[in-house]
């Protein structure tokens, strides 16, 4: 399923972005 892959990709990106934001403001 393509939508499943997209959701997984989005989740991965969200985690990466949150991590970088934490490092930036931390």
Average pLDDT on 3-21 reads 97
pTM: 0.61
Q: Where are the domains of the chain?
A: 1-26
Average pLDDT on 9-13 reads 98
What does the mean pLDDT of the chain come to?
96
Cα distance between residue 20 and residue 6, in whole Å? 21
pLDDT at 19 over 90: yes
20 DSSP 8-state letter: H
Cα distance between residue 25 and residue 15, in whole Å? 15
Cα distance between residue 3 and residue 22, in whole Å? 28
Confidence tier at 10 by pLDDT (50, 70, 90): very high
């Amino acid at each position: 399923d393509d939508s499943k892959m997209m959701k997984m990709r989005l989740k991965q990106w969200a985690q990466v972005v949150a991590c970088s934001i934490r490092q930036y403001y931390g």
